[in-house]
Structure 1
């Protein structure tokens, strides 16, 4: 996260607003107009989104804390740091007697929180723990350092991780409905909508496709990969083949190795603001290949009719739709 030159009063004001928005948005009578006002506030400054994310995490974990027979509602302080203030917001909202505890020591609150995003170009960042991360185009993630784990949330896109080894402080990447847990290794995580693919290059990782079963998961060794979609009870495990080109994005390339369009579109669409659709399943069986620049994927779509027996239309939402020419589509 880039450094923000704010006064303590300005920072506290943002934290105050984030806590109030978090409580308001979780209220049953929150209106559509209020939600629209929140989105305008959130988008007005990067720190607004950072602080709201932190408050949202506090809200979620606080809901799982034990409740005593009687609970005392404590007033919010006028000015405090975001960690202390966030704890107070959770206390006020959920009536939990947490004032006597340290959020960090109990593993409820992170000691640091960072947000990273790669839009127009790929990006390399160093997390607070020293781990290195390469972000593909259109990637967004956050990093939080808790007492019992280092946590990355991959919100969208793809990232390659070189994790700083710490066996007592696991590194966890949350993606869609699952997570990848490591202590120190090199691996790649790709996510598009609810699809996730994990490729391990070095070390060992534990892949769990369903966070509602935290004790589950399958261990990968170097040269293995795991795929899952939201709702999968367990990931699909397989070996990566010798000429696998999934990591070509690190050199700025998208490699389509004779893939069916149905398989290729998730790889293409993650670079587009308007995803490409298929007219039908038979069109999805048409195969495509080639090596493309990740910054020019939009032009790839427009050239498809020149290299494949297809033509393009648009649906009512403005999405490009690939249609096969009559009599040319393989059977489903």
Structure 2
């Protein structure tokens, strides 16, 4: 961990290393040994992790810049092309190349505003560059980019409630998992855990797509409806929410489990944990749990489960807690 101010050369070296690892980890021929070396570098200093996250954002912009074609027999030329696009994207983000930035904006490749937000141990209220209001749940992260043809949010992890400023000519798109939500102005919630995504609509209208590559329009939702999808779904599952729906209880600092099967409750619980809780088998997942919990204290819920359910805790080889149901004891005569 760095404990002294870095010189410009030292900082540049970290930035160069971040760019190198960004390139290698996106390469098809990246080896397991390289991935292990990257992890060691990434974890060695918080500044390494910070610079790598920044480089990932530049990489996302680079994907919108035009590719330079090269022959299949020239891997070095392809690598140089990718580096060039990465350099152009970096220049655009720091407004170091006004002409490229202007051209990229007009073609819809490059954003003229780019923001990254994180929420740590408390809910965070933020204002995006377009004036839209967002509440970020604990441990959540998103990126906002303003393009000529749309306003784009990528929810990288966690949960967010959006109050979108209306602009019919400039749609607001939230990418989450493999799908997305498209709106012009409305209020809605997006929850994501691993490859599962759930959208709850309060006001206005949205269109939900479970796979960004399938269709642009998606399925329409009206207020009081909820859509959910996971990786591989061809279209979202849509249902109406009931009067007791607790999807937005987190905005009041609460996690509400309304007599849910453990298999349904664990994704809601695990969203707040560093190590997700696993199920030993399907019968354990069928046990039901209820209660209201403070989202800042969900980590205390796991060790208390054996006190309220017929389960006991073990750990798997990766160190994750595992819930096991206690079978009925044989009858004695």
Residue in 1 that maps onto 2:92? 84
Residue in 1 that maps onto 2:253? 252
Q: CA deviation at 1:100?
A: 10
- Pair 203,279 (structure 1): closer, same or farther in 2 beyond 3 Å: same
- Return the alpha-carbon distance in structure 1 between the equivalents of residues 297 and 96 of structure 2: 48
Deviation string, structure 1 residues 28-67 (Cα, Å, up to 9, x no partner): 467446634763589416762453133211332336x586
SS at the partner of 1:316?
A: coil
Alignment gaps of 5+ in structure 2:
1-7, 72-76
Residue in 2 that maps onto 1:226? 227
- Return the alpha-carbon distance in structure 2 between the equivalents of residues 294 and 23 of structure 1: 37
Query: CA contact under 8 A between 1:58 and 1:86: conserved in structure 2?
Result: no
Q: CA deviation at 1:114?
A: 1.0
- Pair 13,101 (structure 1): closer, same or farther in 2 beyond 3 Å: farther
The answer to whether the aligner puts 1:102 opposite 2:110 as a matched pair is: no
- Pair 104,50 (structure 1): closer, same or farther in 2 beyond 3 Å: farther
TM-score normalised to structure 1 length? 0.82
The answer to whether the aligner puts 1:201 opposite 2:227 as a matched pair is: no
Deviation string, structure 1 residues 282-304 (Cα, Å, up to 9, x no partner): 01111100001111111111111
Residue in 2 that maps onto 1:60? 63
Query: CA contact under 8 A between 2:59 and 2:89: conserved in structure 1?
Result: no
Q: Which moved more, 1:170-179 or 1:100-109?
A: 100-109
Residue in 2 that maps onto 1:5? none
Deviation string, structure 1 residues 253-297 (Cα, Å, up to 9, x no partner): 000000000100000000000101111100111110000111111
Q: CA deviation at 1:307?
A: 1.1
Query: CA contact under 8 A between 1:136 and 1:159: conserved in structure 2?
Result: yes
SS at the partner of 1:226?
A: strand
Q: Which moved more, 1:313-322 or 1:255-264?
A: 313-322
1:35 pairs with one of 38, 45, 53: 38
Residue in 1 that maps onto 2:328? 327
- Pair 66,187 (structure 1): closer, same or farther in 2 beyond 3 Å: farther
- Return the alpha-carbon distance in structure 2 between the equivalents of residues 203 and 224 of structure 1: 11
Q: CA deviation at 1:21?
A: 4.9
- Pair 316,167 (structure 1): closer, same or farther in 2 beyond 3 Å: same
Question: Where do residues 1-332 of structure 1 align in structure 2 (5 Å cutoff)?
Answer: 21-27=21-27, 28=29, 31-32=34-35, 35-36=38-39, 39=42, 43-44=46-47, 48-49=51-52, 51-62=54-65, 82-84=90-92, 102-327=103-328
- Return the alpha-carbon distance in structure 1 between the equivalents of residues 263 and 21 of structure 2: 41
Number of paired residues? 312
Residue in 1 that maps onto 2:5? none
- Return the alpha-carbon distance in structure 2 between the equivalents of residues 81 and 9 of structure 1: 22
- Return the alpha-carbon distance in structure 1 between the equivalents of residues 70 and 84 of structure 2: 20
- Return the alpha-carbon distance in structure 2 between the equivalents of residues 17 and 131 of structure 1: 35
Q: CA deviation at 1:121?
A: 1.0
- Return the alpha-carbon distance in structure 2 between the equivalents of residues 29 and 269 of structure 1: 31
- Pair 38,115 (structure 1): closer, same or farther in 2 beyond 3 Å: farther
Deviation string, structure 1 residues 155-202 (Cα, Å, up to 9, x no partner): 111100000111111111000000000111000000000011000000
SS at the partner of 2:63?
A: helix
Q: CA deviation at 1:99?
A: 6.2
SS at the partner of 1:282?
A: helix
